[in-house]
Structure 1
Amino acid sequence: MSLVLPAYIQRDPDYYVTDFSEYMTGAQPHDWSKRWGAAHYTPTVETSSGSLSGKALRFNITVTGGLGFFSWDRVSPAADVEILARGRVITNPLNTINTFTRLGARGAGGVGSEMAYSALAFYHTSAGTDWRIQTNKNVSGISSIISGPTDGPSPTISSTGPSVWIWTRFRIQGSSISRKSWQHGASEPAFQDTISDASITAAGWVGDYVAEQQIHMRETDFFSVALRGKTASSSKR
């Protein structure tokens, strides 16, 4: 009689993916943490029509001008990382500057000494396609733009959201920083920008960067991370 053993499923420890279906609604996800800027936004998982799983991580932005980092604590502090996420604004109508996605990496520090790189895609009425993309850094609490802003790719975004989902892929490898954003339903493009910056080299938090110029609500329904030079998955593993 032969012994039949169950299949062994190997999980690559360099990949992390969530569509937020595993989290309780109405509460902050249990393995995510506010690192700085806790007072100006509330992050909760909510039921979301049109999302991939029926749930999304919602950010209710109640104060403008602050800096916040909401880290995914399942991911160990990392230096070389790629993040892929999908988000949208659920304020209707969209205001002059509303963020669709803003991804953060190499996060560290405290209030007044914030450290992080971030890639963002945001609605903007003066853009030719009504949205823009850029890359920022915070070094010892000082924020600056290191790439962009440039207009997001076509088609033009309607101001009557919440309907438009935006994908952003953000990659940091050594001093090389790349990002791209595109509308859901369009083909994923090549990286739209790659720059070199060595201001922040240490491993740090990975997550959502919250720094908003206007009070609004946005949500993320997919968040994928890959470490050590790998490519973040576009599907839940």
Structure 2
Amino acid sequence: MSMPLGKRMGAELIGTFWLVLGGCGSAVLAASFPTGIGLVGVALAFGLTVLTMAFAIGHISGCHLNPAVSVGLVVGGRFPVKDLVPYIIAQVVGAILAAAVIYFIASGKAGFEVASGMASNGYAEHSPDGYSLAAGFASEVVMTAMFILIIMGATDSRAPAGFAPIAIGLALTLIHLISIPITNTSVNPARSTGPALFVGGWALQQLWLFWVAPLIGAVIGGALYKGLAREP
């Protein structure tokens, strides 16, 4: 990256802010409205945040917006390990700021309850459709691994130029269509951390899974693509 680290961190903060505001915000503010957007709309909202930010800041920071993506790119040899922690810090801060904005707006409506209204990720009794810890763990690992593989493939210098944001945005949409009923879909530890801090209680107790599983998936996805793409 030719940009100074401070500018790249700023871009990651803004980009992750937009991802959480657009994705979690759509779930909190628009999913259950009488003419709400529902599961499909929320899935599309998450995909659109990545697609739009990839065009807006991809040339500045690479548009990771996700600690798991940064880890996967390190494993895949696409990102320097020295920049990993600063990127993760910027991403988590952006997610927390977005969650704060969502909380402020949502709490302006009578009857809002933070314990169930911040699009937090969960398993077992806090899974949207009652899926177990094991099912949630497996889902997060597999979905993140595939997400990293798609990101690395779409941004490979040998891939068709200019289409990476579309492929990545559609991949995130598909991931949400599959896994919202299971865990509310994380595949992104920063996205999980922001809302969990406001919900507290069960969301913080279960947050570990939404760091551990996506990071394991990121390592698998990064290593898998690196092995597949290596030319003989």
Shorter chain as denominator, the TM-score bin is under 0.3
Q: What TM-score, normalized to structure 2?
A: 0.26
Please give the TM-score of this superposition, normalised by the length of structure 1: 0.25
Greater Rg over alpha carbons, structure = 1
Higher helix share: 2
Select the structure that is richer in strand: 1
